[in-house]
Amino acid sequence: MRKTACPANMEKGFESGCSDYLTKPIRNGELIQMVNGYLAAEKKH
């Protein structure tokens, strides 16, 4: 999680192993939706 929304920062995150990206300010709905997506994917495995 980073405070800047620069495409270069996002790419660096993905290269270092991040699988998703949120920018600040964090919106509760977006965070919950992202977490729910990971939980649903985990249940399938």
pLDDT confidence of residue 21: 86
Tally of CB atoms within 10 A around 34? 14
Q: Assess contact for 24 and 3: CB atoms under 8 A.
A: yes
Mean pLDDT to the nearest integer, 2-10: 71
Instruction: Give the pLDDT score at 37.
Output: 93
The predicted structure's pLDDT at residue 3: 54
pLDDT in tens, 9-38: 888 888 999 888 888 889 999 999 999 999
Beta-carbon contacts of 24 under 8 Å, excluding residues fewer than 6 positions away, are 1, 2, 3
Nearest alpha-carbon partner for 33 in 41, 43, 25: 41
